Chains A and B, each alone.
Chain A
């Protein structure tokens, strides 16, 4: 009997370990299947970094060059892998440097868990060294945030953080941990994943009556039109989406973030929506009779002038976030729910159909767009290269199989318009926030999130200089990121607006660049700069063949514009071809 008691006691001692808050944090990360952390150490997060020293096999930490780089890399990682991106940063400036990335992840629904160190709890509110009120600074740009001052909270707070970040409409979560809690020893009994929070309902309940009503509308529609956004990718519902549009034969257009959810060459993929989207999808938005929005939020860059947006159409809106329904566009039938679940329900009820005449209308507009815009963009007659022909040539070499990461501006619009995609989660860009400087770190993260895939970053000369320091991260960890700088020696998108709307008053858009190839060389990254068309294909091929990261600068036309364009304040049907 005595020995049995003794064994029992020993077992109990085994299951209750005394570990530090820092260690509890890292154990939580491991339990959540985290393998890669992007971060930068500093005073207030040192205990966590000290604990991290003991986990070289289980947790790979990527030391970036700036915390903004860390969070954009985590975003790229999350978007290419479909997992939660994890960031470590210190208090004060470390934490404030995350704010842009948090805002970006918030508006683009990217699941992140950011851990920031904080001063000792007894110093909170004393203006201590590197103390910032991180919780209040980040409240508007996080899905949830929480300050931990007692290490006993760490396991369940982390469980909550991961659960909130990845469920429902995903988003960034920030956990601020005071230094004392990082050091404090706790009785650790293991980690339990969070599966339910009383006040949080990640998925709204699916209402059968709305599914039925939506199906009836779709069945009666003569000119149905589908708009799809990132919700399809985030919901991992690409198959379900394809089955849905194929059964009903509905032409489908994508938002910037919905791109790659449906292969470019799919016969029902009619192109891009919005300000620089395709001609047909924009004009025909105002001609369709039923508009079916799937996992998108009617951003103003998509809708243009709202009071002239699809007024003739019945609107069906499928979204997981009830707050999106009726936010911008009044819905006729709100289909609340996860589209992975609602789409198959809808598919079951809809009739098999083809809308050939209607689909042809898109093709007619496409032909007009080809004649006026696309042909010249892709086959320019002047000696000066266009951004479009670079993408066209790239398409020929990668065949729609690469992940393409873009920054923000003209190159982004051109890339998204012309790049071909065969696989989902292949287009990574900063959509809602339009964060210049997103591209390079996001590409690093994207490669680490999908190491088996080719990752190409396409970036402008302006945006590249915003986070150029992350070349150091490439130097150190050698992710095979291919960087194409489309250099027009201008902040091109602003210049385009100044040309079109401000009488060519080019106010501070003339940006000088360093010798990018030399800069890359300084970081041990191979590179080349070209300005002649005859070198384009071989240079791209060389870049792709090169073992390791590579930087290719392509000099393009200084004053080329992106068209079509829906000028701000105009209706989508007032889209300009030139």
Chain B
């Protein structure tokens, strides 16, 4: 792709500056709710950045703005040095894709899961014959450790949450996107399959140079998967930096609180507060 040469191998893929989203409701007496306030950060090629924070802290708002699903009130987002709104919508989604929190809501129960994979071809240029499509889908699924015969042709309710999340990651691979917004991809799936999804992200980062914005409320996962972390509270980024620095020597009281709230093994719960 042309864009990769512009930014170089270690360039910044995505950059957010002063990103703010205010929700206003009511016509005469307006009420304003802050979704995100002055959020600035960048993601490099082949880097996994975690966005941590409690529910309602604005993590998903940031994700949705990056995905062009909602418009920011102010601030700018640039992809490979260009404003994301300067891209044609299809061209943009060829580069930025997402995995959402609830796999059961991400697949339309009306169709078999193939529907989601086939739709992804709509973003590609030119037409591909059906046989070729099937081959690409199968090899992609195999490359992420899914058995195509086990998942294809099934309805969403017949698959496990982990399988579905992997398929969605496979979908963005199929499109060949360079940035993946993973909005709490593991919070609604079994603990036993979580590691599989996390390891898949790590291996894609290593092999394909995939950049990931990993949104989570689980500090442990953030530490496992990412190099850098941003901690959000009430729409603001209160602390950011390398994972080890933030989590071992937290500066902001909220980060300390978050860390203290992580339950640990071999410790009495009432004493760990």
A pairs with B: no
Residues of A within 8 A of B (CB): none
